[in-house]
Structure 1
Amino acid sequence: MSTTEPAPGTNLAALRKARGWSQAYLARKASISVSLLSKIEVGDRTLTPAVAAALGKPLGLTMAEILGRASMEQDAEAHLSALRSAVRDYDLPGGHAVHEDQITAALECAGRLRDGAQVTGLVRMLPKLLRDATVHAHAANTVAAWAVLSDVYSTVYWLAARHRWMDMAELAVTRQRWAIEQQTNPLGSALAARDRAGTYLNDGDFEGGLVIVDRAIAAAQSGLAGQERAFAVGVLNLRGMTLAGRLTDKVEGKREAERHIASAADAAEWFGRDWNRHHMIFGPQNTATHVLATRLDLGKPHEALSAAEEIDAVLDGLPPTRITPTRINMARAQLDVGDRDAALESLTLAWDAAPQMARIHPMGREVFRVVSSLHRRSNPELLRLSRLSGIPL
């Protein structure tokens, strides 16, 4: 089980006070209202990713640092250290023999843990899997073997990004790109670009991330065909709409978001149900969850909730890694329109779907902080989520 730092709004207040800055000074530097900053810090409003990025700039911090890192319990620290060592030894394959079927089985197991948001189990098995995949890729030197290694690095990135360990995330995407470049693989290149854009997202450099996405879409459109091209273009557009929704200029953000939404919808027409390939998901269902999140990031909670009218059908069959963030986004939208009871219900569904992910998800923790603050009076469900999250009422 993971342990975490304070919820984002609480973390922000601590960072501001540590510098000796007043709310008025930070708000002016970040070009936001003092009223909004005050409400965020006391727990009356959620700290959104876009506002976190804006506040991070004058503080000299990334969006991920404002939201707060999630750490592991002490018994997982040794596994994390071993994983860092394996990432560092990317071009130093060990002398042990590795059979391809071993790699395949281990990669499938890692995929199940990732899809199930079982972060504790994942961090325990990744060091050995990464070393074995490195040995196999260097020995076999085939497109498939290097693609497997790239997939493992993608999972390392996923784990690191979920915890806001951005040093490891940055290194993982660099290694992922290196692995896929050893043998020509247009699909692998597209997926590596999608993860690289994710590091820009967590840094708060939304414009830079969009450049990476658009360049990768152009390459995928020229280098791939059929459903494989639709899949690559689709997952890149999902990343693009998330980046666009968080642009400071909401007029530009809406324009860019609508462009990516339309392109993703076109690509989704190739699929009846969502594909889960290389531990990434694309199709009409995941597109719908991203549209909901993007409308919310653009400051349109009513539009976000309208997009979620058939949410149970949309989430049917998707893994917990998609269900939990979507339920959290619904809770955030419900808070924005003043429906605290519905927000608590959505948050409960998010925790029930993937408790380990909800515990380390910054918006999951932030929404709970605000929900508990606004309810004023505890109830059994608030008490249960307080125990699970480690956030006191």
Structure 2
Amino acid sequence: MSTTDLAPGANLAALRKAHGLSQGRLARKASVSVSLLSKIEVGDRALTPAVAAAVGKALGITMAEVLGRATVARDDEQRLSALRSAIRDYDLPLRQGVEEQRISAALESAGQYRDNVEVTRLLAMLPQLLREATTYAHATNTVESWMALADVYSTVYWLAARHRWMDMAELAVSRQRWATEQKTNPLGEALAARDRAGAYLNFGDVETGLMVVDRAVTAAQSTLSGTERDIAVGILNLRGMTLAGRLDDKREAAREAERHIRSARNASASFASDIDVHGLTFGPRNTFTHELATRVDLGRPQEALNLTDNVDAALAGLPATRIAPTRINLARAQLDVGDRDGALENLSVAWGVAPQLARIHPMGREVFRVLTSLHRRSNAKLLRLSKVSGIQL
């Protein structure tokens, strides 16, 4: 997979030319209009995940490749290599033992880095944490120790998916599932299925991802009870609504999305506020963020914008990992309804909340590119955001 600093729409244009295809021919192969493809390439329309998946299929590549893998600094390349090595050594514990307190403290730090979207610090600590969690799990062989290892692999998946390192993401979810299977752990298996479905989402294979979600929901309902069942079913349905919103058949997409939205709402109703579950967030507020994103993917931006008239209150208490993407989705919805100033404002908030995430978030970069094209460099806020983000106009 190539690495690029291009925004997704511009990367699509480069890929089309590299494959020697005209806009007309690619549009026919991807079953999209030539007009839409042309607007995406010049920056008048944003490249959506659904169109990226369709173009990927037409080119014989993944949706993640169309969006473009995020670049990393030279020092981070070395850390990335060390992380890959640690993943390969999944069944090779260190010779020296590791204390539980060390693992607990490291997991807490990793969780904070993830919540605050400090991806550089997270990447720096993950190789050693993964090796030590592997050693601890093999030595103690308890449900808790294997779940701790699964949590590390879940974080590896999160980091890899955000950068579109899909080979690593796919391997991480396989290792995560393997860790949860070492000792019977229905909740862990449900969370692993959630991440596995996410890998299918990143590849653009939403149908298979939905199959994984539905099968995992059925298993969770039969093996879990009470709060754990609500957590598992709820988190799986958050993934399910995202997948459903990107189905090609928009009628089916709406029907399936509403099914998952209802189920997630029902599961979250028993929680007064959002809670942290093995590095994930679940509750009414995170359910709101997923529903908003899904309605934007369904091509219903006004419905998304109508979900709340107080965004700050709706997002209160959520980590930056949820706030920044929601602001980006709001910016995308506002762009779709012609509110350029509102889109720029929400995009600026996203950059302020989580600059490292906004820099690598494909839709964040894409909305910025389209706003740049539409404003023709005449907007002072856009110029300031360009300076802060380091993205050239």
What's the TM-score, normalizing by structure 2? 0.98
> What amino acid does structure 2 have at the position aligned with 1:87?
I
Structure 1 partner of 2:273? 273
Q: Aligned pair 1:367/2:367, yes or no?
A: yes
Report the equivalent of 1:153: 153
Query: In 2, distance between residues paired with 1:139 and 1:13?
Result: 51
Q: Give 2:41's aligned residue.
A: 41
Q: Does 2:208 match 1:208?
A: yes
Q: Which residue of 1 aligns with 2:386?
A: 386
Match of 2:187 in 1: 187
Residue equivalent to 1:65: 65
Shift of 1:388: 3.7
Q: Deviation at 1:248?
A: 0.5
2:177 maps to 177
Q: Distance in 1 between matches of 2:308 and 2:95?
A: 52
Provide the rounded CA distance (Å) in 2 between the counterparts of 1:308 and 1:209.
29
Question: Paired residue for 2:305?
Answer: 305
The answer to whether the 8 Å contact 2:351/2:389 transfers is no
Counterparts of 1:98-113 in structure 2 under 5 Å?
Answer: 98-113=98-113
Equivalent pair of 1:234/1:267 in contact (CA under 8 Å) = yes
Equivalent pairs counted in the alignment come to 391
Amino acid at match of 1:137: A
* Amino acid in the other structure paired with 1:213: V
Conserved 8 A contact 1:365-1:389:
no
Residue 264 of structure 1: how far off its partner (Å): 0.4
Partner SS, residue 71 of structure 2: strand
Q: Which residue of 2 aligns with 1:164?
A: 164
Q: What residue in structure 2 maps to residue 97 of structure 1?
A: 97
- 1:292 is aligned to 292
Counterparts of 1:223-372 in structure 2, within 5 Å, are 223-372=223-372
Instruction: Compute the displacement of 1:381 (Å).
Output: 2.3
Q: 1:32 and 1:333 mapped to 2: Cα distance?
A: 20
CA distance in 2, matches of 1:379, 1:373: 11
Cα deviations by residue, 1:227-264 (Å, 9 ceiling, x for unpaired): 11101110100000000000000000000000000000
Does the CA-based 8 Å contact 2:377-2:383 persist in structure 1?
no
CA separation in 2, counterparts of 1:289 and 1:66? 25
**What's the CA shift for 1:69?**
0.3
Cα deviation, 1:346-386, whole Å, max 9, x if unaligned, reads: 10001000000000000000000001111113333212322
Given that 1:7 and 1:391 are in contact with CA atoms closer than 8 Å, whether structure 2 keeps it comes out as: no
| In structure 1, C-alpha distance between the alignment counterparts of 2:255 and 2:206, rounded to whole Å | 14
Q: What's the secondary structure of 1:276's corresponding residue?
A: strand
Question: Using the alignment, how far apart are the partners of 1:35 and 1:250 within structure 2?
Answer: 20
Q: Which residue of 2 aligns with 1:8?
A: 8
2:205 partner amino acid: D
* Contact 1:359–1:388, Cα closer than 8 Å, also in 2: no
Structure 2 Cα separation of the partners of residues 142 and 82 of structure 1: 27
Mean Cα deviation higher: 282-291 or 371-380: 371-380
| Runs (4+) off by over 4 Å | none
CA deviations over 1:309-348 (Å, ceiling 9, x no partner): 2321110010000000000000000000001011000100
Q: Percent identity?
A: 71
* SS of match in other structure, 1:220: helix
Q: State the shift of 1:58 in Å.
A: 1.0
Aligned to 2:85: 85
In structure 1, give the amino acid aligned to 2:164: R
Distance 2:43 2:181 in 1: 46
RMSD of equivalent CA atoms: 1.0
Distance 2:130 2:178 in 1: 14
SS, match of residue 70 in structure 1: coil
CA distance in 1, matches of 2:61, 2:136: 39
Contact 2:4 2:11 in 1 (8 A): no
Q: Distance in 2 between matches of 1:308 and 1:69?
A: 33
Distance 1:219 1:283 in 2: 21
Q: Which of 285-294 and 302-311 deviates more?
A: 302-311
Could you tell me how far apart the structure 2 residues matched to 1:332 and 1:308 are? 16
User: What is the distance in 1 between the residues matched to 2:33 and 2:379?
Assistant: 33
Structure 1 unpaired stretches of 5+: none
Q: By how many angstroms is 1:4 displaced?
A: 5.7
- C-alpha separation between the residues in 1 aligned to 2:92 and 2:308? 48
**1:18 Cα deviation after fit:** 0.8
Distance 1:214 1:142, change over 3 A: same
How far apart are the structure 2 equivalents of 1:151 and 1:52?
Answer: 30
Residue equivalent to 1:56: 56
Q: Distance in 1 between matches of 2:340 and 2:380?
A: 15
Q: Report what 1:122 is aligned to.
A: 122
**Per the alignment, in what secondary structure is the counterpart of residue 256 of structure 2?**
helix
- Is 1:334–1:340's contact at 8 Å kept on the other side of the alignment? yes
- The offset of 1:71, in angstroms, is 2.0
